[in-house]
Structure 1
Amino acid sequence: MTPTDDLYVLYRGPLASCNYDCPYCPFAKRVDPPELLRADRADLERFAGWVEATTDRRLSVLFTPWGEGLTRSWYRDTIVRLSHLPHVARVAIQTNLAARTGWLAEANPRVAALWATYHPGQVRRETFLDRCRDLLARGVRFSVGVVGLPEHHDEAVALRAALPPAVYLWVNAADGHVYTGEEERRWTALDPRFGDSVRPHASLGLPCHAGETAISVLGDGTVRRCHFIPAPIGNLYDGTWRAALRPRACTNSLCDCHIGYVHLKSLRLRDVYADGLLERIPVAWPLPSSALPLPIVAARCPGAHPPPPARSRPA
């Protein structure tokens, strides 16, 4: 297979329950009824079957559940299952790392990966670090991140100090928070790529990989170009997604979430992350100490409007 056969698939089923009650999350402590959990499990099983059968593409799969997926056995089992398929380059999931990580012993560590978020106030830092140490011992690729709220900064600094330099720590700009220049500098000292997150990216009319080599899939198989443009472009299970793939320009004015703007061609972030795109690990990480911090400049395309003030987006 050639690079043109690569397809990034972001999957989000109906699951929306979470064991945490973060005040910045609309799904905090949400409990899904049994019938929804059964539907989510059935949808995920169907999706896994599609991945197994679609051998003419090199697939990279990122699970982006509204809630916490790894507390559910079917997400753990599916990640293990897909990690052993020869045409799957990566299978990753966004997680709060609340679930034990021993199940990863059955996964292929060259393929399975985690995008982990540390939520101060929801879990003891040492408990979270224990999970990270286990992942390191197992050779599982993972990144760690925090939401860049002022009250999280001290915890983020302590977390960075406790993690090995090889573990990338990212920071998401917090929804509703306007960053001063000093705050931006402090967060950039922790995450050299904070500038990508702190301001929304002008995207209207700009070319994007979404809808061409990246798609968003719902539990029922509805295919969208990305999570942030709701119009369907096909369905996974009737094959219409294939004819729908083509170069596309963004129809939104702004793109302000990492899993969206990482596909904007003008930002060239696929070059930055390469094989670490789904688990959010820059290919050049760790950087030499002399390179930290980097200038606080978000990438912009030529001719774009001046960037709006530093503000936030959903975590």
Structure 2
Amino acid sequence: MNLAILYRGPLASCNYDCPYCPFAKRHDPPELLRADRAALTRFTGWVAETTDVRLSVLFTPWGEGLTRSWYRDAMVSLSHLPHVERVVIQTNLAARVDWLADADPRSAALWTTYHPGQVTRERFLRRCSRLSELGIRYSVGVVGLPEHLDEARALRAALPEEVYLWVNAAEGRRYDATEEATWTELDPHFGYSVRPHLSLGQPCHAGETAVSVLGDGTVRRCHFIQTPIGNLYDGSWRAALMPRPCGTSICDCHIGYVHLKPLGLRDVFAGGVLERIPADWPRRHLVQAGPREVQRRP
């Protein structure tokens, strides 16, 4: 069995105050941080003991995890487990990355996001350079806002060619054909993000070979379908894994629609689904091929 787990504990604090993020500059009280640490410790223990499953883990905290030692420790420890294929975390790369020298670069990877106005491009690029020196796989992303375009272009020019730069469509923003083409020059797969995917009734890997897990062990099909299908710690998740059609009308987040079977994105990102790296990157002749029949973002 191969299973991808998207883990999200109670942590919701972040050191950045991006205007497009609802969790900007949020501070978690000490008791919540203790609860988050305890939940993550329990989860990593479960991963270590569940050796009959080939596991991949993506940490998707609401806040910034790598400023907390327990997420760094979890990344390192899980990377060395032989039955863990990949361990990844979404991060703004604000924390130093030298600790990754203790991780296994064959399985540890980062999904990083550059936030102009929160950190200088030079500082962000220094962190990226250190990741490259350490041999850690990573992708870099930006939010496709007009005020970010010049920075995104400069970032692309400065990054090594083998580093994939992805672009997320800004929430609530409509892109005309010219704008879409401009961002697609930076990210050939931008078309998948620029318009939501009609997902209701569509077959999806979520709930079959990928699940979402909360800090208390609640297992859901994905982050966007709230109905539980079991719990990690009582074993009920095993019988719950099965093919199911999607129950939501649209899917407009990469960590969701990458699992929609009709899109075939698991093939596009084969070997790098969790860290968001296309299988054939850095081939530059890639063209955007996202579905056109769906509605534009309202």
Q: TM-score, normalized by length of structure 1?
A: 0.93
Q: Aligned residue for 2:79?
A: 83
1:174-189 alignment, distance < 5 Å:
174-189=170-185
Q: Aligned residue for 1:17?
A: 13
1:11-160 alignment, distance < 5 Å:
11-160=7-156
Q: In structure 2, what is the Cα distance between the partners aligned to 1:268 and 1:52?
A: 31
2:207 equivalent to 1:211: yes
Query: How much does 1:235 deviate?
Result: 0.2
Aligned match for 1:307, one of 270, 294, 297: 294
In structure 2, the residue corresponding to 1:274 is in which secondary structure? Answer: coil
Q: Aligned residue for 1:298?
A: 290
Q: Aligned residue for 2:245?
A: 249
Q: In structure 2, what is the Cα distance between the partners aligned to 1:251 and 1:72?
A: 35
Q: How many residues align?
A: 298
In structure 2, the residue corresponding to 1:286 is in which secondary structure? Answer: coil
**What one-letter code is carried by the residue in structure 1 that aligns with 2:212?**
S
In percent, how many aligned pairs have the same letter? 74
Q: In structure 1, what is the Cα distance between the partners aligned to 2:144 and 2:61?
A: 21
Q: In structure 2, what is the Cα distance between the partners aligned to 1:276 and 1:75?
A: 20
Could you report, residue by residue, the CA deviation over 1:105-152 in whole angstroms, capped at 9, with x for unpaired residues?
100011000000000000000000000000000000000000000000
Q: In structure 1, what is the Cα distance between the partners aligned to 2:50 and 2:264?
A: 28
Could you report, residue by residue, the CA deviation over 1:196-234 in whole angstroms, capped at 9, with x for unpaired residues?
000000111011000000000000000000000000000
Q: Aligned residue for 1:269?
A: 265
In structure 2, the residue corresponding to 1:276 is in which secondary structure? Answer: coil
Q: Aligned residue for 1:223?
A: 219
Q: In structure 2, what is the Cα distance between the partners aligned to 1:219 and 1:60?
A: 17
Could you report, residue by residue, the CA deviation over 1:247-286 in whole angstroms, capped at 9, with x for unpaired residues?
1100001000000000000011111111100000001000
Q: In structure 1, what is the Cα distance between the partners aligned to 2:46 and 2:206?
A: 20
Query: How much does 1:298 deviate?
Result: 1.4
Q: In structure 2, what is the Cα distance between the partners aligned to 1:7 and 1:274?
A: 14
**What one-letter code is carried by the residue in structure 2 that aligns with 1:177?**
R
Q: Aligned residue for 1:303?
A: none
Q: Aligned residue for 1:170?
A: 166
Question: How big is the alpha-carbon RMSD for the aligned residues of Structure 1 and Structure 2?
Answer: 0.9
**What one-letter code is carried by the residue in structure 1 that aligns with 2:25?**
K
Q: In structure 2, what is the Cα distance between the partners aligned to 1:308 and 1:265?
A: 19
2:229 equivalent to 1:233: yes
Moved over 4 A (4+): none
Query: How much does 1:91 deviate?
Result: 0.1
Gaps of 5+ in 1: 301-305
Q: TM-score, normalized by length of structure 2?
A: 0.99
